[in-house]
Structure 1
Amino acid sequence: MKMKTWKRFGLFALIGLLLSWAIACTPGSESSSSSQSGVREVEFWTMQLQPQFTEYFNEAIATFESQNPDIEIRWVDVPWSAMESKILAAVSANTAPDVVNLNPNFATLLASRNAWLDLDDRVPREIRDRYLPNIWDASTFNGKSFGIPWYLTTRITIYNQDLFQEAGIPNPPETYAELAQVAQQIRDRTGKYAFFVTFVPGDSAEVLESMVQMGMELVDAEGKAAFNTPEGEAAFQYWVDLYQQGLLPRESLTQGHRQAVQLYQSGQIAMLASGPQFFQTIAANAPDIARVSAAGPQITGQTGQKTAAVMNLIIPRNTDVPEAAVKFALFVTNDENQLAFAREANVLPSTVKALKDSYFQQLPPDASPVDRARIISAGQMSSASALIPAIEDIQQLQKIIYENLQAAMLDRKSVRVALADAAQQWNARH
Structure 2
Amino acid sequence: MRRGIAATAVVASLALAATACGGSDDDGGKASGPTTITWWDTSNATNESPTYQALVKDFEKANKDVKVKYVNVPFDQAQNKFDTAAGASGAPDVLRAEVGWTPAFAKKSYLLPLDGTEALAEQGKFQPNLIKQAQFEGKTYGVPLVTDTLALVYNKALFKKAGITKAPTTWDELKSAAAKVKDKTGVDGYWGSEKGYYLEPFLLGEGTDTVDATAKKITLGSAAGQKATKTWLSTFDGKGLHKADVTADSYAHRQDAFVNGKVAMTVEGPWEVTNFYKGSAFKDKANLGIATVPAGSSGKAGAPTGGHNLSVYAGSDKAHQEAALKFVKWMTSAATQSKIAQKNATLPTREDAYTAQVTADPGLAGFQKVLPAAHPRPELPEYSSLWGPLDTELPKAAGGKESIDKVIDTVETQYTKLLPDGFTK
State the TM-score, normalized to the length of structure 2: 0.78
Distance 1:402 1:234, change over 3 A: farther
Q: Distance in 2 between matches of 1:154 and 1:299?
A: 10
How far does the alpha carbon of each residue in 1:116-167 deviate from its partner, in whole angstroms, 9 at most, with x for none?
1122353697632221111111222333322111122344443223432333
Residue 123 of structure 2 is matched in structure 1 by: 128
Counterpart Cα distance in 2 of 1:344 and 1:406: 39
Q: What are the Cα deviations for residues 383-423 of structure 1, in whole angstroms up to 9, with x where unaligned?
A: 434457653163345524862684387384364x6545543
The alpha carbon displacement at 1:235 in A equals 0.5
Q: Which residue of 2 aligns with 1:17?
A: none
Q: Which runs of 5 or more residues in structure 1 are unaligned?
A: 8-26, 364-370
SS of 1:33 mapped into structure 2: coil
Distance 1:91 1:414 in 2: 40
Among residues 68, 71, 76, which one is paired with 2:71 in the alignment? 76
Letter in 2 for 1:264: F
Residue number among 129, 136, 141 corresponding to 1:141 in the alignment: 136
The question of 1:235 aligning with 2:228 is answered yes
Worse overlay, 306-315 or 290-299:
290-299
Cα offset, 1:57, TM superposition: 2.8
Distance, in Å, in 2 between the alignment partners of 1:142 and 1:180 is: 42
The alignment of Structure 1 onto Structure 2 pairs a total of residues equal to 393
Aligned counterpart in structure 2 of residue 166 of structure 1, from 140, 150, 161: 161
Counterpart Cα distance in 1 of 2:140 and 2:23: 20
Matched residue, 1:262: 256
Match of 2:199 among 203, 207, 218: 207
Q: Is the 8 A contact 2:53 2:70 kept in 1?
A: no
2:18: which partner in 1?
A: none
Which aligned pairs between 1:296-315 and structure 2 lie closer than 5 A?
A: 296-301=290-295, 302-315=299-312
Q: Is the 8 A contact 2:94 2:312 kept in 1?
A: yes
**Using a 3 Å threshold, how does the CA distance of structure 1 residues 6 and 88 change in structure 2: closer, same or farther?**
farther
Is the Cα contact below 8 Å between 2:40 and 2:70 reproduced in 1?
Answer: yes
Between the aligned residues of both structures, percent identity stands at: 20
What is the letter of the counterpart of residue 146 of structure 2? Y
1:293-332 alignment, distance < 5 Å? 293-301=287-295, 302-320=299-317, 321-332=320-331
Amino acid aligned to 1:104: V
Contact 2:105 2:111 in 1 (8 A): yes
Letter in 1 for 2:179: Q
Distance in 1 separating the partners of 2:302 and 2:60: 36
Question: Does residue 33 in structure 1 map to residue 23 in structure 2?
Answer: no
Write the mapping of 1:78-117 to structure 2, written as runs, cut at 5 A.
78-117=73-112
Contact 1:283 1:290 in 2 (8 A): yes
Farther-moved stretch of structure 1 (418-427 vs 159-168): 418-427
For the residue of structure 1 that corresponds to 2:307, the secondary structure is strand
Q: Partner of 1:224 in structure 2? A: 217
Contact 2:292–2:373 (8 Å) recurs in 1: no
Q: In 1, Cα distance between the equivalents of 2:215 and 2:341? A: 37
1:429, 1:153 → 2: CA distance? 25
CA deviations on 1:191-238 (whole Å, 9 max, x unpaired) are: 43222222246xxx1123432233223212264302333321220121
CA distance in 1, matches of 2:201, 2:30: 48
Please state if 1:413 is matched with 2:408.
Answer: no
Displacement of 1:276 in angstroms is 5.0
Deviations 1:305-343 (A, max 9, x none): 344431210112211222221222112112222223323
Secondary structure of residue in 1 paired with 2:50: coil
Instruction: Name which of structure 1's ranges 272-281 and 89-98 shifts more when overlaid on structure 2.
Output: 272-281
Cα 1:4–1:405 change in 2 (3 A) is closer
Q: 1:288 to 1:408 in 2, by over 3 A?
A: closer
Residues 404 and 162 (structure 1), Cα distance of their counterparts in 2 relative to 1, 3 Å cut:
closer
Distance 2:270 2:123 in 1: 27
1:313-352 matches, cutoff 5 A? 313-320=310-317, 321-352=320-351
Given the alignment of the two structures, is residue 426 of structure 1 paired with residue 415 of structure 2, yes or no?
yes
2:385 is paired with a residue whose SS is helix
Cα RMSD, aligned residues only = 3.5
Alignment partner, residue 266 of structure 2: 272
Q: Note if 1:399 corresponds to 2:389.
A: yes
Give the Cα separation in 1 of the matches to 2:39 and 2:105.
Answer: 18
2: CA distance, partners of 1:404 / 1:143: 35
1:185 aligns with 2:180: yes
Which stretch of structure 1 is more off in the superposition, 390-399 or 312-321?
390-399
The offset of 1:91, in angstroms, is 2.0
- What is the match of residue 58 of structure 2? 59
1:87-142 deviation line (CA, Å, top 9, x unaligned): 23322332211111121123444333222112235369763222111111122233
Change (3 A) 1:354 1:39: same
Structure 2 counterpart of 1:164, which letter? F
Residue 16 of structure 1: aligned partner: none
State how 1:237-252 maps to structure 2 within 5 Å: 237-245=230-238, 248-252=241-245
245-254 or 293-302, which deviates more: 245-254
- Residues 393 and 31 (structure 1 numbering): CA distance in 2 closer, same or farther, change over 3 Å? same
Distance 1:190 1:140 in 2: 48
- Cα pair 2:114 2:120 within 8 Å, conserved: no
* TM-score when normalising by structure 1: 0.78
Letter in 1 for 2:372: S
Quick check: 1:156–1:295 contact (8 Å CA) kept in 2? no
**Deviation of residue 271 (structure 1)?**
1.8
- d(CA) in 2 for partners of 1:209 and 1:159? 17
Which residue identity is paired with 2:367?
S
Q: For the Cα contact (< 8 Å) 1:156–1:275, is it kept in 2?
A: yes
Asked which structure has the greater RCO (Cα within 8 Å, sep 6+), the reply is 1
Distance 1:300 1:244 in 2: 17
Structure 1 pair 223/398, CA: closer, same or farther in 2 (3 Å)?
farther
1:151 matched to 2:146: yes
